Structure 1
């Protein structure tokens, strides 16, 4: 058996063990010290809820609404986060001017932005995009700053001695050197965008996976809650993997270094 097949088998086995534990604990309504499974739906109940959601025809509407909000906020966070990160990482003046207020805003949870987002934006759609934007911004920003600051100064000095201007140094030395850290920030930012989705869609009264999950909670429809949670988890995981794969294609020198 090849090493890759062994790893795939091990990973599949771990998922199956988790599902088995979930089925037994929920069906037997276990009480484990601080955790109780008395009201937790079984995997079979969750599967039935997922089938009912698909049959209702609303799944596509929820997916389209959530994907539009997440990727709109995420793309805006990429532009702002990388631009600010490069500026802060390259300039002490920008660091002293921009980093302190950003550090004050960074620990604020997404749910705390809801009242202000409602007041700031003319529509609930823009408010939800803003919440996902704030979730993705800071991982991208901080990883960009760290990546830019970690670029070997000798490479910059060498490029400058060969006659490279500021633009050439930025595009051909700084950004390629910081790319692995930036890609890590992009992957984390994608995950946090989905993490903030439920918070963002609490504003909405229409469609979205986060709204579906929150609505299921308010009417105490427990299997549907788990369906929504799993959809967010799978979409977030898939999106983060996609970002990492695209990042790997854009940084082939990192793969070569890893193989070496």
Structure 2
């Protein structure tokens, strides 16, 4: 075979593709280019003037409301106002303030606070764990609701004071009795609010997650709990307030230390300024603990849209 025939054969062969189709090459080039991770969004800082016009004014109004109440209290106690409510035997804020300074210089007052804080921390922690678990079970299972709800509805109306004799008989120490009474006070609001939140979860979301192959544990974690979280947080806040109320009842009867015991003992000793100090301390500690609970739960509610208020 001569050279001319070789050239003819090579010319008749199909040409070898030197490059891939444009679509495949474009797709490969797209996958080949590394996409940098997006930087997390940084919330812009609010100027001080803007904060002052919004949040600052609100806190200013709240402070002014408290100042007005203190001024009225001072004038009513000083002049012995008697208009259905008798202020003649109520010590003025100035007298209460002087007594508070005296209490703060000693150590016993702080000891009362520490005992009460310890009892509330233990009782409230147990109420959160048990209450949320019971609420989830009642909200997801009719059998669990039928078994647990009768006990909740039967025991919930019983006041904390009525539990004191039975708690003393059942539990070995006064400390355990006070914690048990405080635990009951915090438990019921947490259980009922958790149950309500779980029951109100949109069933369409649950079915959609299940159709995508989500397990029951994933549905509980990513659908039910986030949807029920506003009600759960409300129950936690209410439970903290009721816990302090129940603690006061327990410490009055069976306590040796604590703010409740301090308040009741001041009444028996006819120390009126100390009574008001104990009452205001309970209110302040309860408010502080409720704010801490709301602040701790705030990251769990970032998804929730803020409602408008005038």
TM-score, normalised via structure 1 length = 0.95
Cα shift at 1:221: 0.8
Query: Is contact 1:147-1:179 (8 Å) kept?
Result: yes
Distance in 1 separating the partners of 2:301 and 2:59: 26
**Residue equivalent to 1:8:** 59
Cα shift at 1:205: 4.3
**Residue equivalent to 1:29:** 80
Distance in 1 separating the partners of 2:178 and 2:87: 33
Distance in 2 separating the partners of 1:4 and 1:163: 45
**Residue equivalent to 1:251:** 301
Select 2:223's aligned residue among 145, 161, 173. 173
Structure 1 stretch 145-154 or stretch 5-14: which is displaced more?
A: 5-14
Change (3 A) 1:83 1:41: same
Distance in 1 separating the partners of 2:255 and 2:135: 35
Unaligned runs of 5+ in 1: none
Distance in 1 separating the partners of 2:170 and 2:122: 17
Query: Is contact 1:89-1:149 (8 Å) kept?
Result: yes
Cα shift at 1:258: 1.6
Change (3 A) 1:247 1:205: closer
**Residue equivalent to 1:53:** 103
Select 1:235's aligned residue among 261, 285, 297. 285
Query: Is contact 2:178-2:251 (8 Å) kept?
Result: yes
Q: Secondary structure at the match of 2:90?
A: coil
Q: How does 1:54-133 map to 2 (within 5 A)?
A: 54-133=104-183
Query: Is contact 2:163-2:181 (8 Å) kept?
Result: yes
Query: Is contact 2:178-2:255 (8 Å) kept?
Result: no
Query: Is contact 1:81-1:137 (8 Å) kept?
Result: yes
Cα shift at 1:204: 3.7
**Residue equivalent to 2:248:** 198
Cα shift at 1:259: 7.7
Q: Secondary structure at the match of 2:120?
A: helix
Change (3 A) 1:122 1:53: same
Q: Residues 195-238 of structure 1, C-alpha deviation per residue, up to 9 Å, x if partnerless?
A: 11211112444211111011111112110000000000001001
Query: Is contact 2:179-2:247 (8 Å) kept?
Result: no
Distance in 1 separating the partners of 2:58 and 2:104: 32
Distance in 1 separating the partners of 2:54 and 2:151: 48
Q: Secondary structure at the match of 2:149?
A: helix
Cα shift at 1:76: 0.6
> Rg: which structure is higher?
2
Select 1:139's aligned residue among 183, 189, 206. 189
CA RMSD of aligned residues (A): 1.4
Distance in 1 separating the partners of 2:138 and 2:57: 45
Tell whether 2:225 aligns with 1:183: no
Query: Is contact 1:124-1:203 (8 Å) kept?
Result: no
More RCO (CA 8 Å, sep 6+): 1
TM-score, normalised via structure 2 length = 0.80
Query: Is contact 1:128-1:203 (8 Å) kept?
Result: no
Unaligned runs of 5+ in 2: 1-51
**Residue equivalent to 2:21:** none
